[in-house]
Amino acid sequence: MMRLSTGVVALLVLAGCASAPTERFYSLSNGMGVTAAPAARAAYYIEVPAVTVPQQVARNQLVVSTGAGRIDLLEQERWSSPPASEIGQALSLAVSGELGTIDVFRTPTPDGAPVYRISTSVQRFESAPGQYALIDAVWSVRLVGGTKVLTCRSVANEQVAAGYDALVAGHRRAVTRIAADISKAVRALAAGADSGC
């Protein structure tokens, strides 16, 4: 009888383990910036320091809006790194890919090489499954060592289908739109043109 009870307990424990939900991890930067090699490398570099995000979304779990003023923290749906890192890396890859240059943040550069610093503060990072993925960011571009700073705001609101894969894809499209705005500003500044937002 004791053997039978031990066997039943072992089966119940195994069944409990088998039914535990699986964590899924998402990335904004996976595959970002993959483009054909540019005909000529840009004559300047960029650097993308750490991005800031609102405190309520500064966690690995996906934080989703589910109603008026209500949000849910999804324990099983997670970013592969904190959202600030995800957005920063995705922006870096998208902008450097668009401009045909290199992000040299914390990397030595040749003497006299122009480097454009891109600072980004995400004001809103909203996720509403089946509805929208929104990134509202204030960003600035400045030639390192120079005094002129261009500060702009980009709001990218992407409609998304149901499901978390679609939500993450919407955020990736939003990052790409913001990166295009930043790239346009860097190009203009590098060409000596007056760049507006």
Give the pLDDT confidence score for residue 20 in this predicted structure: 65
Topology of domain 24-190 in CATH is Rossmann fold (3.40.50)
State which residues of the chain have pLDDT below 70: 1-20, 32-40, 195
Give the pLDDT confidence score for residue 109 in this predicted structure: 84
Length of the chain: 197
Give the pLDDT confidence score for residue 19 in this predicted structure: 59
Burial of 121 (0-12, 13-18, 19+ CB in 10 A): middle
In tens, the pLDDT along 85-143 reads 999 999 999 999 999 999 999 888 888 899 999 999 999 999 999 999 999 999 999 99
In the three-class reduction of DSSP (H, G, I as helix; E, B as strand; rest coil), residue 32 is classed as coil
The predicted model scores a pTM of 0.85
